[in-house]
Chains A and B, each alone.
Chain A
Amino acid sequence: MRRVFLLLIVSLFVVLCLKACIRQDVPEVYLENNYGSSIKNIDYPNDNRNITIDGVDYIQSQAPIGKFGGELIVSTIGEGPKTFNPCNTKDATSSSMAGLMYDGLLTTNPRTGEVVPQLAKGFSVNGNEYTIFLRKGLKWSDGTPISVDDVLYTYWEVVFKGFGNTATRDAMMINGKLPKLYRIDDYTVKFVTPKPFAPFLRQLTYPIVPKHYYKPYSDKGLSVFDAFLTPNTPASEIVSSGAFKLKEYVPAQRVVFVRNPNYYKINKNNERLPYLDKLVYLIVGDTNNEILKFEAKETDILSIRGANVARYKMKEPVSDFYVHNLGPDTGTLFLVINLNNRKNKDGKWQVPRIKQSWFRNKAFRTAVDYAIDRDGIVKNIAQGVAEPLFTAESLNSIYLNKNIKGHERDLEKAKEVLESSGFVIKNGQLFDSNGNRVEFDIYTNAGSLDREAIGVMIKQDLEDLDMKVNFKPIEFNSLVNKLSQTNDWDMAIMGLTGSPLEPHDGKNVWMSNGPLHLFNQRTPNQKYDDRLYWEKELDEIFEQGALKLNFNERKPFYDRYQEIIYQEKPIIYLYSPIRITAIRKKFKNVFPTPLSGLIYNLDEIYIEGEN
């Protein structure tokens, strides 16, 4: 009798647990293509203006006037910043925090993506000469004037000498030559590039650093400079020019910024911005913790992922937050095929000969592309919160080739293409023209649930072509090692972040000697030329495209490169996630844009009801 009773209790418990689980995971309403306030309905303020008051050249924000005070609390996933030195950031968290404290000469218009003045008052471009006019009367957070010396120091002694992260220096280098920088007078400098070079202007968004604070360290050499401004530097010591300055950094807990009293942006009442007293980044370890903190109202902003979108959208009307749809992400998710036909150091083929003959065969790659069911992936894995992707440029890129329309899944066509290239299906198994069974591995990094799920779906899709696919999620680091060092892989599901503004940033991927030329990775010192004909064209495009200055002149080059990738399919693009973000309703002056996201204008955001 007692046993029966116990059994009953246990089974009741299990049933209740299961029921709780079921209710959690299935959103009751499937909100297709309706995730959050659309960006199109937002009434953007006019662009900033320059205004001079008492000899100081301010930027005047044209956003509605707000109230001063209050704080905004956001979360950042991971270990927190590794450095506050804006010249030495190598990860997103560090660079966004350093970016808060240091402004560049120029910046990007958050809506149009144009290059606009920031620390500079204006600029003029004449062929390969870039003249920059500085603002008068600006001060660092410690009261020292921001002068032409700071600009010269930043470029001459930090960027050009290769201190810190050299990405900007590399990007400015044209045929191995750096641009020249001249001082014209106290408020004017001039850059001269060896040739007209389109990506150059955007490089001038590089943060300007205070010479009086940095020089003692950069004088001591590279290694001292690299270790300079670690997060443990006393906050009061750090001198900044941006809207905020550092207040405190508590390891693994938070980073707190406060208003920079000398910030040079003012509102329409000519009061110095920013409105917020404080900006707090809570350092959280993973997404689950981030969600919990938002639910517990400890943070004000949350980026919402696929499965949760429907739930938050349903809660929005009765909650204290708005859900914003920021449109497709700048990141891309893709299946890359290894076209490598080289031997490794030991004289062994990096990709077996038989597989080379498939992967280097355009028909094979086309069949793979047509067999993949992108719509299914978007619906099942991204919960509909994504767009199918067919281009190498991300969907919000200003250089997106809109003529590439993509295609539906078409198994018939895929089979036709395979057959025309000599592949045959026997007893439900695909063989190549030499009678080899088509079997290969698809790798991805274990731990990324989305990619693992995509892998399973692609495996099934390709099995419809009677290929045998072994799907192998492996540790992230091992995967990178395979992709960049040993090259012994077949296909991989990967993602890369891209720039929606400057396609030339992808040159490390697309140029045949690039260190990230995933699909046909060459060793850095390869002597002979074994480029495929379309790789040659890509090289040409990326060289030429950078030399044209005008957007309309450049666009055709980058249209063509996307076309080549779409036709040749060394990389098969899958989808771009749509970014959905929630922010508490009390925050005003929030003008999300697809290019810059939700809180690019931290200096203008204010809290309703604060005094």
Chain B
Amino acid sequence: MSFFRLVLKRVLQTIPLLIIVSLLSFFIIRLSPIDPLAELRLNPSISQETLDKEIKRLNLDKPIGVQYLSWAKSFVKGDLGYTSAGEKVSVKLKERIPNTLLLTTVVIFMTWMVGLPLGIISAIRKETFLDRFLTVLASIGMAIPSFFFAILMLIFAVKTGWFPVGGLTSYNFNELSLLGKVFDISKHLVLPTIVLFTISLSGLQRQMRANLLEVLDSDYIKFARARGLSENQVIFKHALRNAINPMITLLGFEFAGLLSGAALTEYVFQYPGLGRLILEAVMKSDINLVMASLMMGTIMLILGNLIADILLMVTDPRVRGAKE
């Protein structure tokens, strides 16, 4: 019962949040001095008539309030409208979402598969050489800016010729066999994955280490040890279960980052994902596209938190109790 109440409450909370986010972003974008028609205006062969036609098509002649309302009306109906180039926003998003999801899920899966164990190991082997070594690695990973690392990787690709320079598929992709296609995509994914993996791994590993250390320091662990439980039992049965809770909240945020987390890396690697699309849309003030992506980001964030909450209810009896 409490589960459904939680979900319902969250969904209801979403509505005012979406309205506020959409209002704010719509007005900020529209009030910025960016003119979506700037390039056309500077083209000597474009006549005033064509310009007027474009202004009408993009609704730029109406007051901003009216523009917002007409956008909101179609958004509620599930219609995301058209981009300034006249393509359907939903189509544009649909062709990019799988690409971004592919990259981010691979990265998140890898970081969690590697990051959690590493964090646990370095917490258990605190102050040993291994821990120090991992700390140094993590510091490097956190300190290096993702775009810079990405550029280094690109240069590496050019110099060695082992990896393609950006993109997702080779130009002859459609003529490859199934196995060839898988190999082709993997080859393209290696470098961006390395960049994103290195950067998010460090944070995750450090977080896990800190959580576990804190728990290991608590009284009930001391008690468990005093009861004569084996170290393995202490750590995996008692310490880890408690240390994992903050990580679940983190996982919720990772979910929100699924669609937007890799924008910068995507741009440097010319990866055909959402990040690049949205960045280009913002620069041109392509309002429908930007709004759709912002709304999507908001919904993903709320959804991520919801999932985290539900997972917490499963893992943590205290949360369950509090909610009831």
Contact = CB atoms under 8 A, between A and B. Distances in A.
B86 interface: yes
Interface stretch (B33-41, B61-69, B196-204, B214-222): B33-41
Contacts of B158: 292, 295-296
23 contacts: A73-B171, A82-B85, A90-B43, A91-B39, A166-B49, A166-B53, A170-B47, A226-B86, A252-B270, A253-B167, A253-B272, A283-B270, A289-B166, A475-B33, A479-B38, A480-B35, A481-B33, A481-B35, A484-B42, A485-B35, A496-B44, A505-B45, A508-B46
Contacts of B48: 515, 524
B168 interface: yes
A252 B34 contact: no
Interface in A478-531: 478-481, 483-485, 494, 496-498, 505-506, 508-509, 515-516, 524
Given A251-B96, A478-B33, A508 B166 contact: no
Interface string B213-248: 000000000000000000000000000000000000
Contacts of A170: 47, 49-50
Contacts of A253: 167-169, 272
A575 to B, nearest CB: 19
A284 B239 CA distance: 50
Nearest to A524: B48
Contacts of B177: none
Interface residues of A, number: 59
Contacts of A481: 33, 35, 38
Given A230-B87, A251-B272, A498-B44, A298 B33 contact: no
Contact of A484 (B41, B86, B87): B41
B96 A508 contact: no
B83 to A, nearest CB: 9
Nearest to A282: B171
B46 A90 contact: yes
A226 B57 CA distance: 11
Contacts of B44: 496-498, 505-506, 508-509, 516
B164 A298 contact: yes
B26 interface: no
Contact of B47 (A166, A292, A476): A166
Contact of A90 (B35, B40, B157, B161): B40
A165 interface: yes
A505 to B, nearest CB: 6
Contacts of A494: 42
B258 interface: no
A399 to B, nearest CB: 15
B295 interface: no
Given A170-B47, A289-B166, A506-B44, A284 B270 contact: yes
A240 interface: no
B128 interface: no
Contacts of A256: 171
Contact of B34 (A82, A475, A506): A475
B161 A296 contact: yes
Contacts of B95: 232, 251
B154 interface: yes
A476 B35 CA distance: 9
Contacts of B319: none
A563 interface: no
Contacts of B82: 227
Interface string B62-104: 0000000000000000000010011100011001100000000
B127 interface: no
A555 to B, nearest CB: 21
A360 interface: no
Contacts of A226: 57, 86
Interface string A455-489: 00000000000000000000111111101110000
B42 A285 contact: no
B255 interface: no
Contact of B33 (A162, A227, A477): A477
B202 to A, nearest CB: 20
A14 interface: no
A483 B41 CA distance: 10
B157 A296 contact: yes
Contacts of B51: 515
A79 to B, nearest CB: 6
B277 interface: yes
Nearest to A71: B171
B45 A280 contact: no
Contacts of A485: 35
B91 A296 contact: no
A162 B52 CA distance: 13
Contacts of A250: 169, 173, 272
Among A298, A481, A498, find the residue whose CB has the most chain B CB atoms closer than 10 A. Answer: A298
Contacts of A298: 164-165
B193 interface: no
B19 to A, nearest CB: 28
A227 B86 contact: yes
Given A170-B47, A250-B173, A498-B44, 6 more contacts: A226-B86, A227-B87, A289-B270, A475-B34, A477-B36, A481-B38
